[in-house]
Copies of this chain bind each other. A is one copy, B any other.
Amino acid sequence: MTNPTACLLIIGNEVLSGRTKDANLQFLGTRLGELGIPLREVRVIPDVPDVIVDTVNAVRARFTYVFTTGGIGPTHDDITAECIARAFGVPWEQHPEAMALMAADYARRDPPVEFNAARQRMATMPRGATLIANPVSVAPGFIIGNVHVMAGVPRIMQGMFEQLAPTLKGGTPVQMRAVHAHGLLEGRIAEELGQIQKRFPAVEIGSYPYYREAGGGVALVAKGTDVAALEAAVAEIAAFVAGLGFEPVSGEPK
């Protein structure tokens, strides 16, 4: 059985311009791997309606799950929800449950916050959407079809994702094993490493040089859903590294 797949759309000019350093890719890549829904593609796109609509439609046809981050706040540049309504060809309208949740929250604050038109936009969603609870700041995300729309602020996005996680139909968790060797150059091991990769087609072996103040080396990372194959591959890699006179250390370099 093959695993479901995921695609992440990071929506926002501020990431493309370099103003904001994205912190959501790494979190979601890790968490989705653990759930057996490996992240297979990420696109970072600007706050341009046609680009958002076309991209959502292109990727929702190709991946089991699509996740989006960003563009669901109250300001003019928050256009994700209306673009996703357009992508699905459904009206963009006030969501009664989101309206009720947010009205109650704003009324409860001291002093109460006005639930003005701009804030009501955050409760305006594609018709048919179901909500993703926001345990941090109330204004919810939503799901329509296989598209899961979340906030861009990392703490809020993570809160939403953990609400969502138990509802996703995951696959076999992707596991990772690593060894590293100080002082070893990638170019020296490339040939044999390629041979090991060929003997373990179900394992994805990656080779990553690293550079530290105390000197560099190479990290060799095996990933896959078949734990026995994973451990056999890493054992072969470690034996090969040791045979060259380097110490294979379990795990990633610190």
Contact = CB atoms under 8 A, between A and B. Distances in A.
Interface stretch (A39-47, A225-233, A240-248): A39-47
Contacts of A26: 18, 21-22
Q: How often does this chain occur in the complex, in copies?
A: 2
A239 interface: no
A169 interface: no
A76 B191 CA distance: 8
Nearest to A190: B118
A113 interface: yes
A187 to B, nearest CB: 4
A93 interface: no
Interface residues of A, number: 67
Contacts of A75: 186, 189-190, 193-194, 207
A33 interface: yes
A1 to B, nearest CB: 20
A15 interface: yes
Interface in A24-46: 25-31, 33, 38-46
A16 B32 CA distance: 10
B39 A16 contact: yes
Contacts of A113: 185, 187
A124 to B, nearest CB: 13
Contacts of A100: none
A176 interface: yes
A120 to B, nearest CB: 9
Give the top 5 A-B pairs by smallest Cβ distance, nearest first: A118-B190, A18-B30, A18-B29, A76-B194, A42-B44
